[in-house]
Amino acid sequence: QTHYGPLWVGLLQVLEAVKVSPLIEKVSDHKDFKKLLRTRTNVLVLYTKSATSGDSHLKLLSDVAQTVKGQGTIAWVNCGDSEGRKLCKKVKVDTSSKREGAELMHYNDNLFHDLTFTYFSSLQSMVAFLKDPSGPPLWEENPEAKDVVHIETEKDFRKMLKKEERPVLMMFYAPWCGVCKRMQPIFQQAATETKGKYILAGMNVHPAEFDGLRQEYNVKGYPTFCYYEKGKFLYHYENYGASAKEIADWMKNPLPPQPKTPEVPWSETDSGVFHLTDESFDSFLEEHPAVLIMFYAPWCGHCKKMKPEYDEAAEMLNKGTNSPGVVAALDATVHKAVADRFKLSGFPTVKYFVNGEEKYTLPSLRSKDKIIEFLHNPQAPPPPEQSWEDKPSHVSHLGSEDFREALKKKKHALVMFYAPWCPHCKNAVPHFTTAAELFKEDRKIVYAAVDCTKGQSHELCKQEGVEGYPTFNHYNYGKFVDKYNGDRGEAGFIGFMRSLRGRDQEKVVKKKEEL
């Protein structure tokens, strides 16, 4: 049971009598009240001491009811009349003890709802709450964020840039973004520490109405930080792991992001490797009966790691008169015609050709010794291990296209963000799969997994605050709750979900008793 009477302080006081909106349901009979809670989800109930003590609240709620029509129900109980008094007594509401003579309660699925949203001071915040009761509070409603300048409209944003003399650091964010949630308290602290000297501002630009603004400032992901002086955009701030002090120090001496170290091309003069092109590829295969080719991308970390081994193998193989084969390489980002022909899905990809025909793809050929050993005795590689996603299990494998919709339907989701090559991930997979099997009958629970190396999922993982593999996040109806840092064995994964379900049951019993 959660009481919200004190949260109405500061709302507009209305002197004249308020005409109650027909969208607000007046309830006084206990049976009608129980029916309302049984037949509707997401019900906000205002209890008032008398017919007039709730005037200011009813005015605001009339606007709220209009905005959330079809998504939530607003009800009013007057505890001052005889029937209403009985109802208030039965549900244990005592408005006479409240300073404003009014109390507000929220019910979800006939039970009091656990709320993390505790700030109601505006139409906007109440509408946001009723549209998503389990969602996070609006950032601007958090008292700890009072030193952050919260911008709501593009007009206000332009106005601030035009008038503000002090430097501005703007955080463009989305309410659901995991990295944003992690950075907001740090940004808040930096705003407090630099108050008066600089402006640290926040703006939710996820709605479609801000498409133009996002394009203007190259907002391709969340959060994006933009630095302005005298209304002019100068730089992006890209230190997403910064502390409040680091943000404050950067504001004292703002510098553009450091350019990334340019890729060093694979030197053809210092290497014994034959470097192929779209034009030379086929003729080279015709001239050499046995060829091992490494298809690579200059930015690929695994390719960089493999290059010195490949160079050494080439020194021994490409210059010998009795060599069993030659070693070559092709930059797939430049010579795309050949790369497209072989439908490469990742780098490096090593393929073995005999008499111009592709014979094997060799995923485990990474070291000098293995390369030389293979060319002296070419053997078919073992069949590829079946991917986790292809193995039958009760783990839901999600991607960027279905991640949010799937999680919205589950009360509790434990999501494992992983990379197939990661050893710690491989160790956790069987335990995570066993836990999913145990809870397969529970419709409110899901154990899900996201392969961060696949398609657009890399961007999704970045948005969800994934900085290493595996990362485990707990979600409630699609909203990020916290990271799971417990044991990565069966006992840990199962125990975590059992504790959540146990708490759910305790609340159900308690609330039924109260009702």
Structure tokens at 487: 């044991």
Burial 355-372 (b: 16+ CB within 10 A, else e): eeeeebebeebbebeebb
Sheet containing strand 357-361, edge to edge, reads 274-276, 326-331, 290-296, 349-354, 357-361
Residue type, 19: K
Active-site positions read 177, 180, 300, 303
Q: How many CB atoms lie within 10 A of CB 171?
A: 25
Which residues lie across from 261 on neighbouring strands?
none
Largest CA distance in the chain: 106
On whether the CB atoms of residues 318 and 273 are closer than 8 A, the answer is yes
Burial 262-299 (b: 16+ CB within 10 A, else e): eeeebeeeebbbbebeeebbeebbeebebbbbbbbbbe
What's the CA angle centered on 484, arms 482 and 487, to 5 degrees?
165
Structure tokens at 107: 């019910």
d(CA 403, CA 397): 9
Residue type, 337: A
Quick one: DSSP state of residue 46? E
On whether the CB atoms of residues 158 and 113 are closer than 8 A, the answer is no
Strands (E), 116-251: 149-150, 168-173, 199-204, 224-229, 232-237
